Structure 1
């Protein structure tokens, strides 16, 4: 009986595979990566293996099936409880409106502060220093104009050039200023959004964990960008159609 799990030499960057003797509960070998192509030969060299106890990572499932087709694959106890708790949390979260209707007097907990989301289609995410400065200046200009100040007065108070004040005043919203070379600005996250979407649809919604998953795939951007993308998905309206987890 062999246990298969991952270990990190640099969390979020580089992972390997640890093999454990289930009976003695001691590690017996370390593989330099967590690929099915590395696990399969190791198992194939040990035809006496009858049980592979693993987490539910697809690369471990593929490696175990290829290298030890005669073995029974089981999930370890920690992952069973962990996956069950995640499924329960997702189900409760997806049906929270039903629970609120049943117990209307129960106060809602204070929501976790979240980054302000930019309007749909904005080429710059919240947290981009140029975009944030543009939004701040736009708000300052329109606040003074609404208070009755002239463009010249706004120019003097904010220390901005007159034509800049005029441009900000003419823009109904700050995103109207994101034009030209920035209008179709690509994001370093674009190539990884399909992966994040698939994982989201599978029920994995932890931004930090998903960031750790795409870093080894080549993602060079920040965790905040991943968090902002998933926050938009988390707060978008969606129908309550989720079913409870299966037995």
Structure 2
């Protein structure tokens, strides 16, 4: 069973690799800004789930197009038969603070303003997840859910904010912060699932996989498990 991650996020890929998966990355072409405009009146939890579903739909369509007999051959793509079951994982994260959803700042000005408004406070990082299963050239099962984690932001001064924004890190991440990067210095604590803050919640994905009839251990790669076994054998006793 192959796994496809429908995201360009390095953090999501690192989380999955560390957890024993070796997914193929296939980035969706969803116009997130346009979809957000359509969802402007939707509840925040529904927004992130809908974004994840839209990404899953786009990735599934791309995979099915690859499997058509007339599809062009891509030498960089692994040799994958349509008979092989495929699990597609997609996510989308946004920060909910003061009742407003915030995505990626994109610009330094927006990132700095956001940090000045949320320092010393807390917000909820919402991550929508979608799991879709392809078999025999069609979607045979799917499930979705959201996960929320409370983030407590440090009360940092303007100079620190400006230095952080100048690194460029907060511009392209949901909410304008990271937990596993430079932004980790400015997070006083979290209440919830750390992996969800990194972009993909392992407990949430495990539950979704169970809902579609898949035990997560079936997705562990042989390479990952053998490396762990080798490391355990070398460890001092």
Of structures 1 and 2, the larger Rg is shown by 1
Q: Same fold (TM over 0.5)?
A: no
Pick the structure with more helix per residue: 1
TM-score category (smaller protein)? under 0.3
